[in-house]
Amino acid sequence: MKENIQFLKSQIRKNFCILNPDQILTFPKDNPNQLSEEYRRYFESLRKNLESILHTVNTPFYASKAHVLVAEINSRNIERLKIDQTIKIGTDSSSLQRSSMKLVEETMEDPKERERALTSIYLQMVQLLKIEDLKNANQELLSQAIVMIAGALEVFFTDLFKEIFNRNPEAAAKFISSADNAKSYNRGYIHVEDLGKHEFDLRSRMGDLVLSGRGIDSIGFLQKISREVFGKTPNLNDRYLHQIFEKRHIIAHRRGIALDGRKILVDPNEIEIAMRRCMDLADDLAKLVIEFAS
């Protein structure tokens, strides 16, 4: 029986996202209090955004579980009602509710009953995965999670470096005047319109000026700007971080169809890896920011 439960659970985890934000979304790992408030808020915002994404992709699992639990309780409650003639279906809702709760408590207290109930619940959830509409909707949500994760990272990178440049205008000037970036940003001169937007005072608005036209929308751009500002880059050797943005483009602009005609599929394990990589990257960036600001 236990082997059956483990097999059924593995089938569920292979298809449904069942991720605990408190176990995955933890950063920075070292010296979190060294991040000043003006920078810490961006890291906290990233965590909240990723947590919202996790709750979203967990929804099919929780909805399916709720459906199955209700069906299981109703089924067993009918068995109880057949024996307990003092409760009449549909005429005494309070008695029906008390009976349901008592039945659940008894089931959880008895190891054999608990195992039987869990097996039934997991088996029904696996059967739900055979429903084509639910299966497709779940896969679509997993794919869109990649788009949302890439979007959360882009917002985080852009807002963080805007703050850095706003507080350190010399870093912004160095970045846009470098040989690689001068042409891209065309900052040989500044438009009067740009000055007007910032009340003709750019001392604390260089980040808004430099990154107003383009966000940090790729790992390559993050590497470039980090190297210019910090003199080094966060650990970006993992190809997976690059793939998040590559897949975002395919999913958002090509409906998930790669150039070779393959459909890009996303599984729950991929979402977990993506979240953990985001935390590792945020941790590396936190250390660079602490060092830069000290």
The residue type of 212 is S
Looking at residue 88, its pLDDT comes to 47
Each residue's pLDDT tens digit, 171-198: 888 888 775 665 555 544 455 465 556 5
C-beta neighbour count of 180 within 10 angstroms: 10
Each residue's pLDDT tens digit, 118-152: 787 788 888 888 889 988 999 999 999 999 999 99
H helical segments located in the chain: 2-15, 21-24, 37-83, 93-109, 111-128, 132-167, 169-177, 182-185, 192-197, 206-210, 219-230, 239-254, 268-293
Between 124 and 42, where is the model more confident? 42
Band of residue 169 on the pLDDT scale cut at 50, 70, 90: confident
Comparing 54-68, 83-97, 123-137, 228-242, the range with the smallest average pLDDT is 83-97
- As for how many domains the chain has, the answer is 1
Each residue's pLDDT tens digit, 268-290: 999 999 999 999 999 999 999 99
Mean pLDDT, residues 85-93: 47
Band of residue 4 on the pLDDT scale cut at 50, 70, 90: confident
Rounded to two decimals, the pTM is 0.80
Report the candidate in 268, 237, 222 with the shortest Cα–Cα distance to residue 15. 268
Task: Give the mean pLDDT of the chain.
Answer: 80
Mean pLDDT, residues 9-29: 84
With a cut of 50, say whether residue 86 has pLDDT above it. no
Looking at residue 192, its pLDDT comes to 47
With a cut of 80, say whether residue 69 has pLDDT above it. no
Looking at residue 289, its pLDDT comes to 94
Please state, in angstroms and rounded to a whole number, the distance separating the CA atoms of residues 262 and 271: 20
Structural tokens at position 71:
């069906």
With a cut of 70, say whether residue 6 has pLDDT above it. yes
Percent of the chain residues topping a pLDDT of 70: 73
Domain enclosing residue 152, as ranges: 2-293
List b or e across 25-34, with b for residues whose CB sees 16 or more CB atoms inside 10 angstroms: bebbeeeeeb
With a cut of 60, say whether residue 35 has pLDDT above it. yes
What is the sign of the dihedral through the CA atoms of 185, 150, 48 and 294? negative
Looking at residue 2, its pLDDT comes to 57
Between 48 and 82, where is the model more confident? 48
- End-to-end alpha carbon distance in the chain: 58
Bridge partners of 257, per DSSP, are: 263
Report the candidate in 141, 157, 160, 151 with the shortest Cα–Cα distance to residue 50. 151
Each residue's pLDDT tens digit, 237-249: 778 888 999 999 9
The residue type of 25 is L
Looking at residue 87, its pLDDT comes to 44
